[in-house]
Structure 1
Amino acid sequence: MEEAILVISEKRMVPSTQLKRPTRLGDEVYNAIYSQLMSRQIAPGGRISVDRLVRELGVSQTPIREALSRLEAQGLVVKAHLIGYSAADQLDSARLHQLYELRLLLEPFAAGRAAMSMTEETHGALIKLAAEMQAGEAAPQVEAYSRFAQLDSEFHDLIARASGNELVQETLTNLHTHVHLFRLFYHARVTADAIQEHQQIIEALTLRDPQAAETAMRHHIERSRGRFANAFAR
């Protein structure tokens, strides 16, 4: 009897083959709507029809509403009582100027702190994100631009977290900086220049040089301000 129990126990311990989990439908729907917002296929301030998205994406309302809730949390979408969803309004020139003033105060500081306290895991994650941004240039333009915006946001958020200052991180996150900036205009030059500047930031962080990291981040933000300010000259 004991032998039988032992055999059964051993059989139960045999590991089963794990199946790869498919991409979540919710993520696919989120990415599709995110791309439409970034490329301004859904214009800033424009109404978002859930029924239209149901027909266009061929899914039920549930994953669409889940995706819109995620986008609302990011500041890309707003929801009004009895009206529904609409795309967030675009930045104006004054708001853009204020946004960059705040970024110049906080992000170089965060980069300098990150250079001193960043873990090897975080350093590796930043290198991976930079590589993904560069590899994405080969994708179709609309898809590449939308994906770059997501990765760029992750890149800056990761540096803010690595600073160890939770208030700085929370402030930058709540600004929803990147999702608004990348809707200003659509141009591949934005990604090409930013990729080079990101590399300079990583090099400074790799050296664990806080002054160099602050300088590289400040240079990146000032160059970014110039690129996006051109949107208002059109």
Structure 2
Amino acid sequence: MIAPRPSLGDEAYELMLAELISLRIPPGEKLSVDGLARQFGVSQTPIRAALIRLEAEGLVVKKHNTGYNVAPQLSGSRFRDIYEFRLLIEPAAAAAAALLATPSEVAALAELAEEMSALADTDTEANYSKFALMDGEFHARIAEAGRNTVICEALERLYTHMHLFRLRYHAAVAMDAVKEHDAIMRAIREGDGAAAQVAMQAHIAASRDRMQPYFNAT
């Protein structure tokens, strides 16, 4: 079956996401709907739809009477708070997922991990932004498999992966994450809660250490 063609709104969203994550459109910059429409060769309607979606994810900010601006980078304190929070809840979620995930959930998670690995093999800004989206989905699915709705809701509200991937554009970020995901997947497949917890903790700590040097702490 042929996959349906993405809508113009989806295409505009993906193009703008790549621009934001690669920092070609820098934090704080004012966004012109008309200018973006000309840049991407579409009408203003899909641009507005993409901006609404990006606003919901915290990547752009709408200001009264002035339009949209790119959201600022994470502050040093916000960065530290996010990782402290993730280290508290995500290893436990991974442990629960290893014990509670259904075979279909494990299979879907493994398929997603394989897709991410394929993206990481090709170093392009478009692939990097897609990888950021999939990384968020990977962690969300693990939380869902752990059957804790509070953890799921908390992670969904943060949109941490989008902001964290904006800190650094480099293929090594994706490649290292893929290797760490493999360890998490292996533990979940084997139903080993303790190993899944350790693997997730190591992954989040390594992610923190990769991103830490690439912004100015405030």
Q: Which residue of 2 aligns with 1:78?
A: 61
* SS across alignment from 1:182: helix
Q: Which residue of 2 aligns with 1:225?
A: 208
Q: Does 1:69 align with 2:69?
A: no
Q: Take 1:165 and 1:143, find their aligned partners in 2: how far apart are those partners? A: 32
> Is the 8 Å Cα contact of residues 75 and 216 (structure 2) preserved in structure 1?
no
Q: Which has the larger radius of gyration?
A: 1
Q: Take 2:216 and 2:2, find their aligned partners in 1: how far apart are those partners? A: 53
2:96 to 108, 113, 120: 113
Q: Does 1:92 align with 2:75?
A: yes
CA displacement 1:177-225 (0-9 Å, x = unmatched): 1000000111111111110000000000001111111110000000011
Letter in 2 for 1:121: S
CA displacement 1:109-153 (0-9 Å, x = unmatched): 111111111112211111111111111134352122111111111
Select the structure with the greater relative contact order (CA < 8 A; seq sep ≥ 6).
2
* SS across alignment from 1:98: helix
Q: 1:211 to 1:19 in 2, by over 3 A?
A: closer
Q: Take 1:19 and 1:139, find their aligned partners in 2: how far apart are those partners? A: 24
Letter in 1 for 2:126: E
Instruction: Report the CA distance between 1:173 and its aligned residue.
Output: 1.2
Q: 1:123 to 1:83 in 2, by over 3 A?
A: same
1:166 to 137, 144, 149: 149
Q: Does 1:129 align with 2:101?
A: no
Q: Take 2:132 and 2:2, find their aligned partners in 1: how far apart are those partners? A: 31
Q: Take 1:200 and 1:138, find their aligned partners in 2: how far apart are those partners? A: 18
> Is the 8 Å Cα contact of residues 18 and 126 (structure 2) preserved in structure 1?
yes
State the TM-score, normalized to the length of structure 2.
0.94
> Is the 8 Å Cα contact of residues 138 and 144 (structure 1) preserved in structure 2?
no
Q: 1:21 to 1:233 in 2, by over 3 A?
A: closer
- Which stretches of structure 1, 4 residues or longer, exceed 3 Å deviation after superposition? 18-21
Letter in 2 for 1:212: A
* SS across alignment from 2:114: helix
Q: Take 1:101 and 1:145, find their aligned partners in 2: how far apart are those partners? A: 25
Q: Does 1:180 align with 2:163?
A: yes
Q: Does 1:144 align with 2:127?
A: yes
How many residue pairs match? The answer is: 217
Instruction: Report the CA distance between 1:58 and its aligned residue.
Output: 1.3
Q: Which residue of 2 aligns with 1:212?
A: 195
Letter in 2 for 1:155: F
- Stretches of structure 1 that go unaligned for 5 or more consecutive residues are 1-17
- Stretches of structure 2 that go unaligned for 5 or more consecutive residues are none
Q: Take 2:138 and 2:167, find their aligned partners in 1: how far apart are those partners? A: 20
* SS across alignment from 2:215: helix
